[in-house]
A = this chain, B = another copy of it.
Amino acid sequence: MDIAIIGASGYAGGDLMRLIALHPDTELTCATSRKLDGTLVSKDQPHLKGFVDINYTNPDVDKVDADVVFLAVPHTVAMQYAGSLHSRGIKTVDLSADYRLPQPIYEEIYGVSHTAYFEAPYGIPELHRDEVKGSIFVANPGCFPTGAILAAAPVADLARTIIYDSKTGVSGAGDTVSETTHYPNVADNINPYKWTQHRHLPEMQLEISRLGSQASVHFTPHLVPVTRGILTTAHIITERPVTTDEVRRRFEHMYRNEPFIRLQTPKLGHVRGTNFCDIAFEVEEGGRRIVAVSAIDNLMKGAAGQAVQNMNIICGLEETTGLLFPAATP
């Protein structure tokens, strides 16, 4: 299958290209970058030397053609491409936020008008596999929501309050330099940001409520001195006392056939560079708080990896194709 990546020069784009190179059924035929139009990809991303041998291009929206298109561009840019791709029936995985939320919520949270809205499945396959399967356009979830939702999903309906305290690696901020990502500001520090109102919160709230939960959902992210990975600690206050056995059964049941969920102590080093989400939990004495923790690679299960997983599904391939490899640990 021919693959096009719109916005290939960023970190998610880089990991998409890595995965496409490893995938047995795909060939990268188009990698766009406005800024680097004409540059050899492997000159910009030297770790891909020998694996990606094309130049970045900057084609017109309507001329992008491929069997599958990945939109790895910022929100509001994705919607400029999506309409054309959708109407031309081209299979698309959109890594931006543009199709993750109902239009009114999207417009409120992102403060813009949506100029090409249509409904798309929210591409966490573990929760919405059937919807994704029947679609040609998938809204790939945010990195924080992926880890957060998967950590709490099996017990969401037991929760009164869910507080997500997330710790994210710096690659989540992208490859654009800023005060926030200046090494001396990050190293030896733990920096909370958007303490009460991060844009990813509505995705979490929506998905938790779709799981039949009445819980109020809260979220505070922290930037940590790590390059890749998100560890999310879900503090779940329950409506009634729960037991460890009961909770374990729920986790084991929900994820019993999931190829990318591993119920084991979450450690960023164990998922780095991979599409796995490792999850474990502990029930506080008395049964009124569950602490569930998930570890993902923000660029993989949190972006490019899940996008390829979604591509596999909408293309009728085995869902794990090109994605089953372990982390290089330590």
Contact = CB atoms under 8 A, between A and B. Distances in A.
B171 A175 contact: no
A110 interface: no
A179 B174 CA distance: 12
Given A220-B233, A233-B220, A226 B225 contact: yes
Given A182-B183, A222-B167, A265-B46, A190 B282 contact: no
Interface residues of A, number: 83
A191 B225 contact: no
Contacts of A288: 216
Interface stretch (A113-121, A137-145, A266-274): A266-274
Contacts of A326: 18, 21, 47-48, 50-51
Contacts of A46: 262, 264-265, 267, 270, 278
A229 interface: yes
A190 B220 contact: no
A225 B187 contact: yes
Contacts of A18: 326, 328
A170 interface: yes
Nearest to A271: B47
Given A182-B183, A225-B187, A326-B18, A218 B235 contact: yes
A273 B270 contact: no
Contact of A227 (B163, B187, B233, B300): B187
18 contacts: A11-B184, A15-B328, A21-B325, A45-B329, A46-B262, A46-B267, A47-B271, A163-B235, A167-B224, A169-B188, A188-B227, A189-B269, A196-B291, A220-B291, A227-B330, A228-B328, A228-B330, A237-B237
